[in-house]
C-alpha cells in the first residue's frame, strides 16, 4: 500500500479559506513509522474569535434556508466521500495508524451518518394539535446558532461526522476543533464540504490543543459544545462549558465488560471478543476491555488464544497512536504480571519489519485478573483484554456494575433468559447480545452511561436532533367568532 508520508501543512479553515498565521506549531507524527508528516497551528483566542465571527455572520442566511435546501449539500458531500474513499482511507491510516480496511470502514460509516442527516426532512416533521376549539399549538425545531465540536484522535474522520452533518443540516453553523494528533482528515473534510457547495462560514476548523478547548468553553458567541474524548477531559469540558451556560454533551472513556457464559457459541464468541478488543488496535471506546468468564469457560479462552495467532501487527493490526501510548499499554501489562495475573498472549515488544519506528502492540490476553487491579478498572486503550473469572452470572453482573464507566456491555450465551438478565441489569448505555461491538445504527443513538457520558441525550441519531435544536412553541387563534377564551 503506497502511503504519501509528506503531507501539506495543516491550516485553520475560517470563512471558507485556509489560513495559518504566526501561531506556535506542533509536529504531526505518523504512528505507523514515527516520522513527522506535517505540522499544525496551535491556535488561540484570536483564531477562535475569527471563526466565531465567521460562523455568526453565516448563521442568519443558513438558518433561514429550508431543511430541504440544506440537505442538498450533504447529498453531494456524501458522494464526494465515496469518490475519494481510497485517498481518505489512506489519510486516516497515515495519521491514526489503523489498517486500510479499518480506515475504509470509518469513511463508510461517515457516509452512513450523512445518509441520516439527509433524511431529516422525513424525521423532523414538527408537531401541531388543535388544543381547544379554534386554538392550535405547534412545536417547531429551530437551530441554536454557533456550535462547536471537539473531537478525539481515534476516529479522525467518523467522530466529526457524528456531529457536523446533523448540526449543519438542522441549521446551525459549526466550529470543529480536531485532535491535534490527527488534524489532516478534518482539513480534507473542509475542502470537500466546500466542493459540495457549503456556503463560507457554515463550517470552520480551528486547530490546537488545551488552550483552544478552554477558549471554546468560555466563548460567549458559542451556544453549544459537543465533546468526545477521555473522561478526564470530558469532565473538564462539561463543567466549564455548562458553567458558562452552554448546552453541552461530553462523551468520555470506557471500560467495556463482555460477560461470557459457558454455553456460548465457541468460535463466534472467541472471534467476536478478540475482534472487539483488538480492532483499531483496541483504540475504540466500544472495545472489549474486560471479559468476565462465568464458571467454566476455558474452552472459549483456548479458542481466543488461537484467534490471536491470526492477528499480525503491521498487517491486520494497526499501530497505537504514539510512543507514550505504547509505553503506557505495555506498562499496564507488566504491572498485571507483577501482581500475579497470567499473560496468555503477550503483545509487548513488537517491532514490525520495515516500520521499526512505528508504535505497535500485539494482541494481549491477561487471565486471572482480580477486580482491584488497574488493568480491571482503568482504560488501557490498546489491544488488551483482562479476564476476570466469576462463579456465577450475578457475580459477573456485579463486576460490570462496579465500573465507573458505562459505555457498552455485552453477553455471550445461547440462553435467552440469561441474556435478558444482562440486558436489564448491566449498567451501560449500549448493550450487545452475542455482539462484541454493539454500536447502534442511526436512527438509534450513540451514548454511554455513568462516566462515559455527561449531559442529557446522546450524540447521534434521533437524540442528536434534540441537542442541535431548540423548540419554538406557537399558539394561534384565527377565528374571532369562537368563544374560546385562551389564557386571556
Region 397-436 residues binding ligand NAD, contact defined as CB under 6 A:
407
Q: What are phi and psi of 235, to 5 degrees?
A: -65, -45
From the candidates 114, 217, 248, 285, which is the catalytic residue?
285
The count of chain residues that interact with ligand NAD, using the rule CB under 6 A, is 28
- Residues of the chain by 3-state class (helix, strand, coil), percent to 5: 40, 20, 40
Nearest distance, CB of residue 286 and ligand NAD, angstroms: 8
Stretch that binds ligand NAD, among 55-63, 117-125, 153-161, 350-358 (CB under 6 A): 153-161
Instruction: Check: CB of residue 173 under 8 Å from CB of residue 145.
Output: yes
The answer to whether 152 and 142 are in contact (CB under 8 A) is no
Distances (CA, A) of 447 to 160, 196, 281, 456: 15, 29, 21, 10
Q: Which of 31, 41, 152, 314 binds ligand NAD (CB under 6 A)?
A: 152
Q: 59 or 454: whose CB is closer to ligand NAD? A: 454
CB of residue 382 to ligand NAD, shortest distance in Å: 11
238 scored as a contact of ligand NAD (CB under 6 A):
no
Of 94 and 261, CB closest to ligand NAD: 94
Residue closer to ligand NAD (CB basis): 381 or 467: 381
Residues 216 and 62 sit within 8 Å (Cβ to Cβ): no
Q: Is 248 in the site for ligand NAD (CB under 6 A)?
A: no
CB of 256 to ligand NAD, least distance (A): 10
Please give the distance of CA 84 from its chain centroid, rounded to a whole number. 22
Measured between alpha carbons, how far is 89 from 102 in angstroms, rounded to an integer?
A: 8
Select 32 or 236, whichever has its Cβ closest to ligand NAD: 236
User: Binding to ligand NAD by residue 440, rule CB under 6 A?
Assistant: no
Q: Should residue 37 be labelled a site residue for ligand NAD when binding is judged by CB under 6 A? A: no
285 classed as catalytic:
yes
**Least Cβ distance, residue 14 to ligand NAD (angstroms):** 18
Q: Give the interface segment with ligand NAD, choosing from 151-159, 257-265, 337-345, 470-478 (CB under 6 A).
A: 151-159
How far apart are the C-alpha atoms of 230 and 26, rounded to whole Å?
21
Stretch binding ligand NAD (CB under 6 A), from 44-52, 247-255, 305-313, 352-360: 247-255
- Residue closer to ligand NAD (CB basis): 59 or 381: 381
How far apart, in Å, are the Cα atoms of 148 and each of 11, 174, 373?
18, 6, 37
Query: What residues does 132 pair with on adjacent strands?
Result: 135
Binding span for ligand NAD by CB under 6 A among 45-53, 205-213, 270-278, 300-308: 205-213
Of 135 and 217, the one with the shorter C-beta distance to ligand NAD is 217
Minimum separation from the CB atom of position 417 to ligand NAD (A): 30
Q: Which of 16, 134, 209, 440 binds ligand NAD (CB under 6 A)?
A: 209
Cβ-closest position to ligand NAD: 229
List all residues 6 or more positions away from 282 whose beta carbon is below 8 Å from its beta carbon.
289, 320, 329, 361, 380, 381, 382, 383, 384
Q: Give every CB contact of residue 139 below 8 A, 6+ residues apart in sequence.
A: 126, 127, 128, 471, 472, 473
Determine if 251 is a binding residue for ligand NAD (CB under 6 A): yes
Specify the 3-state DSSP secondary structure of 208. coil
- Shortest distance, position 281 Cβ to ligand NAD, whole Å: 12
Q: CA-to-CA distance for 406 and 450, rounded, in angstroms?
A: 5
* Cα 215 to chain centroid, rounded: 22
Which residue stretch of 46-54, 126-134, 248-256, 361-369 sits at the interface with ligand NAD (rule: CB under 6 A)?
Answer: 248-256
Contact by Cβ (8 Å): 149, 172: no
Minimum gap (Å) between residue 209 Cβ and ligand NAD: 5
User: What one-character-per-residue DSSP string does 58-74 give?
Assistant: HHHHHHHS-HHHHHHHH
Q: CA nearest 70: which of 13, 143, 150, 161?
A: 143
What residues from 288 to 317 belong to the interface with ligand NAD (CB under 6 A)? none
Residue of the chain from 39, 53, 72, 230 that contacts ligand NAD (CB under 6 A): 230
- Closest CB to ligand NAD among residues 94, 264: 94
Per CB under 6 A, contacts with ligand NAD among 446-465 are 448, 452
277 scored as a contact of ligand NAD (CB under 6 A): no
Answer for the pair 342, 366: CB distance below 8 angstroms, yes or no.
Answer: yes
Which one among 41, 253, 314, 438 touches ligand NAD, defined by CB under 6 A?
253
Instruction: Candidates 154, 173, 319, 464: give the one binding ligand NAD (CB under 6 A).
Output: 154
| CB 195, CB 16: distance < 8 Å | no
If binding is defined by CB under 6 A, does position 213 make contact with ligand NAD? yes
Residues contacting 433, CB < 8 A, separation 6+: 410, 411, 419, 422, 423
Residues 315 and 340: beta-carbon distance below 8 Å = no
Q: Alpha helix locations (H) across 294-415?
A: 298-309, 323-338, 374-377, 393-401
Shortest distance, position 226 Cβ to ligand NAD, whole Å: 11
Region 341-380 residues binding ligand NAD, contact defined as CB under 6 A? 379
> What residues act catalytically?
285
For ligand NAD, the binding residues (CB under 6 A) are: 150-154, 159, 177, 179-180, 209-210, 213-214, 228-230, 233, 236, 251-254, 285, 379, 381, 407, 448, 452
Amino acid at each position: 500500500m503506497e502511503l504519501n508520508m509528506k503531507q501539506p501543512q495543516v491550516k485553520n479553515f475560517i470563512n471558507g479559506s485556509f489560513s495559518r498565521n504566526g501561531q506556535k506549531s506542533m509536529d504531526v507524527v505518523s504512528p505507523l513509522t514515527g516520522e513527522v508528516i506535517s505540522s499544525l497551528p496551535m491556535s488561540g483566542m484570536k483564531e477562535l474569535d475569527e471563526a466565531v465571527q465567521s460562523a455568526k455572520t453565516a448563521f442568519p442566511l443558513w438558518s433561514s434556508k429550508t431543511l430541504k435546501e440544506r440537505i442538498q449539500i450533504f447529498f453531494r458531500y456524501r458522494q464526494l466521500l465515496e469518490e475519494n474513499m481510497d485517498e481518505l482511507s489512506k489519510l486516516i491510516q497515515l495519521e491514526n495508524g489503523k489498517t486500510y480496511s479499518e480506515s475504509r470502514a470509518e469513511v463508510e460509516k461517515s457516509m452512513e451518518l450523512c445518509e441520516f442527516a439527509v433524511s431529516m426532512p422525513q424525521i423532523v416533521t414538527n408537531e401541531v394539535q388543535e388544543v381547544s376549539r379554534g386554538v392550535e399549538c405547534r412545536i417547531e425545531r429551530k437551530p441554536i446558532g454557533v456550535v462547536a465540536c471537539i473531537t478525539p484522535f481515534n476516529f479522525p474522520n467518523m467522530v466529526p461526522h457524528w456531529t457536523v452533518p446533523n448540526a449543519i443540516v438542522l441549521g446551525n453553523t459549526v466550529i470543529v476543533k480536531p485532535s491535534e494528533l490527527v488534524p489532516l482528515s478534518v482539513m480534507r473534510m473542509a475542502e470537500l464540504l466546500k466542493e459540495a457547495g457549503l456556503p463560507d462560514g457554515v463550517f470552520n476548523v480551528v486547530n490546537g490543543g488545551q488552550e483552544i478547548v478552554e477558549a471554546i468553553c468560555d466563548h460567549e458567541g458559542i451556544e453549544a459544545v459537543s465533546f468526545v474524548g477521555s473522561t478526564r477531559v470530558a469532565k473538564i469540558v462539561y463543567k466549564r462549558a455548562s458553567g458558562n451556560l452552554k448546552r453541552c454533551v461530553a462523551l468520555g472513556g470506557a471500560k467495556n465488560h463482555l460477560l461470557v457464559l459457558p454455553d456460548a457459541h465457541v468460535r463466534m464468541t472467541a472471534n467476536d471478543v478478540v475482534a472487539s478488543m483488538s480492532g483499531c488496535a483496541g483504540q475504540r471506546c466500544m472495545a472489549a476491555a474486560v471479559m468476565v468468564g462465568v464458571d467454566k469457560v476455558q474452552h472459549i479462552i483456548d479458542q481466543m488464544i488461537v484467534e490471536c495467532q491470526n492477528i499480525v501487527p503491521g498487517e491486520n493490526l494497526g499501530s497505537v497512536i504514539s510512543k507514550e501510548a505504547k509505553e503506557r499499554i505495555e506498562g499496564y501489562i507488566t504491572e498485571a504480571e507483577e501482581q500475579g495475573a497470567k499473560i496468555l498472549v503477550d503483545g509487548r515488544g513488537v517491532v514490525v519489519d520495515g516500520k521499526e519506528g512505528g508504535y505497535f502492540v500485539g494482541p494481549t490476553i491477561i487471565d486471572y485478573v482480580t477486580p482491584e487491579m488497574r488493568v480491571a478498572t482503568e482504560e488501557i486503550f490498546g489491544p488488551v483484554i483482562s479476564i476476570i473469572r466469576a462463579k456465577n452470572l450475578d457475580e459477573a453482573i456485579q463486576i460490570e456494575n462496579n465500573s465507573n464507566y458505562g459505555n457498552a456491555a455485552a453477553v455471550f450465551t445461547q440462553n435467552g433468559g440469561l441474556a435478558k438478565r444482562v440486558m436489564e441489569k448491566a449498567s451501560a448505555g449500549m448493550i450487545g447480545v452475542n455482539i462484541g461491538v454493539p454500536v447502534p445504527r442511526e436512527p438509534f443513538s450513540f451514548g454511554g452511561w455513568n462516566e462515559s457520558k455527561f449531559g442529557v441525550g446522546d450524540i447521534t441519531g434521533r437524540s442528536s436532533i434534540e441537542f442541535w435544536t431548540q423548540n419554538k412553541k406557537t399558539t394561534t387563534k384565527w377565528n374571532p367568532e369562537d368563544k374560546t377564551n385562551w389564557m386571556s
